[in-house]
Structures are given as C-alpha cells and as structure tokens.
Amino acid sequence: MKKRTTKKILSILLAASILLGAAGCAAARAADLMGGVSPNPVNGRQADATFTESMADFSIKLFKSGITDKENSLISPLSVTLALAMAANGANGETRTQMETLLGGGIPLPALNEYLYSYAKGLPNTEQAKLTTANAIWFCDDKNRLRVEPDFLQKNADYYGAAAFQSAFDAQTVKEINSWVKTNTNGMIDSILDKIDPAELMYLINAVAFDAKWQNVYYKESIESGGFTDIDGAIQSADFMYSAEDQYLDDGMATGFVKPYAGGGYSFVALLPNEGVSIEDYIASLSGSGFLETLHSARSVTVNAYLPKFSYDYEVTMNDALIGLGIPDAFNPDIADFSKMGTSPEGPLYIGKVLHKTFISVDELGTKAGAVTIVAMDAGAAAPTEEPKTVRLNRPFVYAIVDNATNLPVFLGTVMRVG
C-alpha cells in the first residue's frame, strides 16, 4: 500500500488544547476569519444522568491512561473533551462513531454538541472563582495544501465559540499561538509549541484557566511543618495547611474530604488510599460511576484535614492513551476520515498527536490551575454520636477540582511527591 503523506491534527490541551497543524505556507500574520461573524443561535441541552455518567466515565479513563509512573500528574477532562469534540465535528464514518463512543458513551454528535454547549456555558465564573474557556482553530493559509470545509468552522463557532485563523505556519505563527495560550491561561502556561512540524496543517486549540479562593482561607497559625512520604518511600519536608471540613469521603479503599471554594460553585476533593493500599492499586480501582457515588455519599462529619501546599506543571502526549480508549482510526492515516473537516491533495487528514499540558498551585489562599471541574455535594445531617475524622495527606493521594452542579471533575491529579 502506498504510504500517504502525513497530515496531522495536534491537540494541545488544558491551559492549551490544540489539534491538527502544518508548515510550508507563505509568511504572513494570522488572519481572523471569524472577525465580525456572529455564531448562529443553537439549542443547548442541560446535563442529565446520561451525559454526566458518560463524562465521568471518560474523565476517569483518561486520568488513568494519562498517569506518568511515580510522578505527579494532572489532566483536565474538560479541556481534552472540548478539543476532541471540535475535531469530531470534522469526522465522518467509523472515525466519527469511535469518537462519539469515547467522548459521549455513544451520544450522537449533534446531541453531544448541545450538551457540551450548555455545560461549558453553565460553569460558574465569578470574581472569587474564575473559570474561563477559549477555543480556536489555526490552519495553513495555502489553499493548494488544505481546503477547510466552511460548515466545520461554522459548527465549531456555533457550539464552541471557536475563532478561526488562517496562518503562515512559520516562526511568527508559533509566537502567535504561544501568545494566545499564555493570554487564555492567564500566564499559567506560557507556551505550547517550540516549532511547527512541516507535516502539520491545522491546530484545534482549547484553553481553560481556573483561579479560585478558598471559602475559608488558611492563616499562618493553621500551617505546620511535617513529613510527606513520597512514592519512593523518602520523607520530604512539607507545609501542611490545617482546616476543619464538614464533608467526609470513604469509598472503602480511601478516605478524604471536600473543601469548597468561595462562591459555592467548585470544590477541591482529596482521596487518600488506606494504609496497605498502594496509590497504583487505588487508581486502578477507580471508575466514573464510583467517583460520582463517592461524592454523592459524602457524610456530614467534622474532618480534621491536613493538605500540603504543592505546585507543579505536567505535560503528556495522549496518543497511545486515546488509541487504547477506543479511537484508533482517528490516528491512522490509512483509515481516518476527517472529510467533514477539509481536504488536502497531499492525503487525508488524521490526528498526528494529542498533547496535554497543565499547571496547578495550591496554597493558603486558594488554587490556580489550567482547567477545572467541581463536584456537587450531598449535605446530610451528621450522625449525632460520630466522632470527628482525621485525614492527613502525608503520602501519595488523588485529588480533583469539581463542578458542584454536576460533580464532574474539571481537573484530576495525583500528588506523588511535594518537592
């Protein structure tokens, strides 16, 4: 079989999610094709059990597949979903079916667009808890190399508010994309590209930025030094922030707590594997339905919570994970069908790589991260005779930032070491 020329979709996610790129065009600054063009009015669809359960399932599967052995990790299911959903609007045939199955558990793409439109627009964004998302499509301006379908651009403008830029895919384009990423992540991620591969023709980019204050901030007297036993068994010095929380989690293999952010729209969720349960075994046991059930079953019990301060960034290529999760055709140049996205005389379009880059900082005042989902809690009456619980996060643990209205994680991560 004749080998086809590579045409790549690059998805750089979180504070940046990008898809499909290319080089070799004439030098020129990017032209905004959507300037002055208003998206068409579309119908939204409010999150229901079908959508929430499928999103939770994808979030946990993505989290488990994106972990780097023994290292801190962090993914934004929201960012990955939005970037891949934009790409799915250019897919056809079995490629599209596989993407619908992975992203929405089989929800047809027109309905998934409606769900995601309402979900993203409904995420709280206040002065105390800011969450912003942005989407953009960049493609090579050489029509002899790529012709983009107008309906593909229009659909992503309608449902995802995506700007579209024709660009010369040269060094100037790299600067412009990195500037866009930095702006739309509030400086938390300052770059995503160092060069453009000559084979790449288009990028679909999603950016998510989260910056929220705790509902109850920590004060100096609430911080104490202590030891954190890292994934290799070494003791690291850490600053632990103490607070008394009122939502206790216990899923049988881990205990944890929920700490709300100001405004009530988002919460930080921490889950510490029980003694004798390794972090690897605990992560392997996680499921979307189990995660939602753990949050729904939160008990109103006083929790003496000790949270270490931490800050790190994370980057992962998600090709193998997404292929393993069920969309192999999208990455195969001999099978991929993105005919609704555009055409190129050099060969069919397919996904070349999916990159995910994240940043998080947790301290006395709150949390800054590239994307967030915060889970809603069930607050029942506390058992009158139940003693306070203590959860000290002094060894590897799992955490999430969740959207309280849906309990869906915008961010999911692990802390394997604090230094």
Q: pLDDT per position in the chain (419 positions), as tens?
A: 333 333 333 333 333 333 333 333 433 455 565 555 567 889 999 999 999 999 999 999 999 988 878 899 999 999 999 999 999 999 999 999 999 999 999 999 999 999 999 999 999 999 999 999 999 998 888 888 888 898 999 999 999 999 888 888 888 988 998 899 999 999 998 888 888 887 788 888 899 999 999 999 998 889 999 999 999 999 999 999 999 999 999 999 999 999 999 999 999 999 999 999 999 999 999 999 999 999 999 999 999 999 999 999 888 888 888 999 999 999 888 889 999 998 888 788 888 878 888 888 988 888 877 322 111 111 122 334 467 778 888 899 999 999 999 999 999 999 999 87
In angstroms, the CA 369 to CA 13 distance is 13
In angstroms, the CA 189 to CA 313 distance is 9
| Segment (H or E) for 311 | strand 310-317
Which amino acid makes up residue 148? Answer: V
Give just the sign of the alpha carbon dihedral 64, 66, 67, 73: negative
pTM assigned to the model: 0.87
In angstroms, the CA 82 to CA 184 distance is 15
Pairing relation of β-strands 8-14 and 350-362?
parallel
Which amino acid makes up residue 315? Answer: E
Instruction: State residue 278 phi and psi, 5-degree precision.
Output: -75, 155
Tell me the residue ranges of DSSP E strands in 176-222.
200-213
User: What is the token pair recorded at 331?
Assistant: 């990455």
CB atoms within 10 A of CB 186: 16
In angstroms, the CA 230 to CA 396 distance is 6
User: What is the token pair recorded at 183?
Assistant: 């702006």
